[in-house]
Structure 1
């Protein structure tokens, strides 16, 4: 066996492959040094005991299978693919099996937890269907398994992720949770992204937003449905939820209204959008109280999918996951829980399959031409979509406001 390993490493390429297989041990050593000399001093300064710290990281090694990691000594690269569903083809995110599961489960639980949901809405002003939709999407109403050790995930990402500073904050918050007795070390199981419990809170969100809704003296987002529902609503309130307003409305956008008018920084009274010819797909007028208030154009697939006029509450929902598609899923599922099953009127058209690195290259090309794409991260957010629309119109093309293979080639 030893002779075979040596022979495999004979060539230059094989030598590089072998070097990568033995790099785990040095990384483990660097991780332990980082824990002792870097993270521990800050944790101690924040009131974390040595006992808690040592218990949290006993036997923990970096998990090199997690996404978005940067090996020590290397520079970050834009990944070709994206692990989160929120960053895939827009239409695929709304597969009926997924949406239907959340809406059917939400309706069933609306009756089971009617008193709790009423109490949550009275206390926080967030409608029950919205809370149910988030609960269902995040953890399958508490049924989803959390297979990862939270300190392994958060420690690895704080040590070597592309967003180390963010995860450093989160691993320190996780230590604070255990130190304060909010949860035992053994119960700290998470998703691959380090999210906890039925609402899938990051540790800092638990510390800031978790509430005791069942009156037992502790906020338990792992086992208590009332605490889970109340904590979700509290999160939304803390992020600016406006009581009495909807999240948004599916609309028809006339061809002479530019898709490049999209974005939360281009708001106007909803009555003005209506005056431009934008109308609800239902044929009903916008509610009077909404028409007087501000709204924003949302076209998450550009001209290749449904369009919406959304309220500030949409962007509160987006804060939960930082994805337009996620916020739209929650709003749409909440409507179906409240009013019955009815899909989007607009169809999600086909989009070209592009690597995340392709979109990042497109974004850099647009930046070089003076457009604000919101950063070359490979994710087609609203600034990228409207920059595409502006470039297309300027160059005599039909504005679609969405990346495609031809656009990638044209902007190289």
Structure 2
């Protein structure tokens, strides 16, 4: 899209969670709902039995699955007759009413907090060798992997207890009335397909897959499509199990980031200060032109400095001049906005969840856990 939005609206757009992530994570949803720990909560048939197999759109989908993927029509009809409608998924997918301005400090406090830090230290200590192997293999540091798993599910404590096929079927064929409804229905229809394909490829009952109300699975909250594309068997037992194998979760997160632009050995962010510059005697906040320019590092350090973006003085942590960056704004409601330079690795994290707040929380939690381990 070539239309240039006003700065205020561009800020909101790129701090918000965007609509169709490759991995549909539960972090932004944890304030809305809480799931019991996987070890103590058995599978539950959530919601109403509505016999999806009798729905016209589902019948057409079944025919497509038979033609495209070679499924047995009768078996799929039986399967969808047992799928339940997840009312809570519909409710939680509705847009939140307008509220207070975005607040980075409040968001961060939900994730960079003592429970997650303490759990992260234990997780890192328990799986130090596996984390090191993932870093050696994919180039993603342990603290980033630990940060993601901590933000997502507190290292497996909150993985969700919905039957995934129930959740994704409900959202594929009965998504709530929102401006992006058609796109979301198409996305979740693809996830129904991926759920069935993953179950067939793995030789498991599709109803055995448990996850969030949106269908995200395991410690890293991968959607079924992301499991099929990016998950790895990192414990070497011949199967992928993101719910019960921390090793598979660790390796899969690292592989996902590596496949989405993580660059081995490069930094992610640097704190900066923005200032007014003078153009032909006229003060101008030229740095505002670099806000909301997409989830991509594409500006040189020299260009950003010329616009009034000045890296903070941090010993032994100067931004390399040979990398590209973007200006990241973290709004704090009525308080001062924080500004950072985001390099390619920062934006690799935003491909996991398309939010500045999310990516910075991952970085900050991982750093906090690393520091706590060395005290």
Structure-2-length-normalised TM-score? 0.72
Shift of 1:175: 0.5
Shift of 1:88: 5.4
| 1:128 to 2:149 alignment | no
The residue matched to 1:308 in structure 2 has which SS? Answer: strand
The match for 1:283 among 298, 306, 314 is 314
- CA deviations over 1:222-253 (Å, ceiling 9, x no partner): 11111110001111111111111111122222
Distance of aligned partners of 1:91 and 1:67 in 2 relative to their CA distance in 1, 3 Å threshold = farther
CA distance in 1, matches of 2:195, 2:98: 26
Contact kept, 8 Å, 2:261 with 2:345, in 1: the verdict is: yes
Shift of 1:218: 1.2
The residue matched to 1:291 in structure 2 has which SS? Answer: coil
CA distance in 2, matches of 1:68, 1:47: 34
CA distance in 2, matches of 1:247, 1:101: 25
Bigger strand share: 2
CA distance in 2, matches of 1:125, 1:300: 27
| 1:330 to 2:330 alignment | no
Greater relative contact order (CA < 8 Å, ≥ 6 in sequence): 2
Contact kept, 8 Å, 1:48 with 1:179, in 2: the verdict is: no
What is the aligned partner in structure 2 of residue 143 from structure 1? 157
CA distance in 1, matches of 2:79, 2:244: 21
Contact kept, 8 Å, 1:52 with 1:178, in 2: the verdict is: no
Bigger helix share: 1
The match for 2:89 among 59, 66, 69 is 66
Instruction: Please report the RMSD computed on the Cα atoms of aligned residues, expressed in angstroms.
Output: 3.1
Contact kept, 8 Å, 1:295 with 1:310, in 2: the verdict is: yes
Contact kept, 8 Å, 2:120 with 2:146, in 1: the verdict is: yes
Q: Give the gaps of 5 or more residues in structure 1.
A: 1-23, 71-77, 342-412
Matching of residues 136-175 of structure 1 within 5 Å? 136-161=150-175, 162=181, 163-175=184-196
The residue matched to 2:252 in structure 1 has which SS? Answer: helix
Distance of aligned partners of 1:340 and 1:278 in 2 relative to their CA distance in 1, 3 Å threshold = farther
The residue matched to 2:85 in structure 1 has which SS? Answer: coil
Matching of residues 360-371 of structure 1 within 5 Å? none
| 1:95 to 2:109 alignment | yes
Distance of aligned partners of 1:105 and 1:270 in 2 relative to their CA distance in 1, 3 Å threshold = farther
Q: Give the gaps of 5 or more residues in structure 2.
A: 1-46, 176-180, 278-284
Greater C-alpha radius of gyration: 1
Shift of 1:184: 3.2
The match for 2:216 among 192, 195, 201 is 195
Distance of aligned partners of 1:335 and 1:249 in 2 relative to their CA distance in 1, 3 Å threshold = farther
The residue matched to 2:84 in structure 1 has which SS? Answer: coil
Shift of 1:309: 0.4
Contact kept, 8 Å, 2:53 with 2:80, in 1: the verdict is: no
CA distance in 2, matches of 1:250, 1:169: 39
Distance of aligned partners of 1:332 and 1:97 in 2 relative to their CA distance in 1, 3 Å threshold = closer
The residue matched to 2:190 in structure 1 has which SS? Answer: helix
The match for 2:330 among 300, 307, 316 is 300
Structure-1-length-normalised TM-score? 0.66
Shift of 1:41: 1.0
Distance of aligned partners of 1:293 and 1:43 in 2 relative to their CA distance in 1, 3 Å threshold = same
Aligned residues: 306
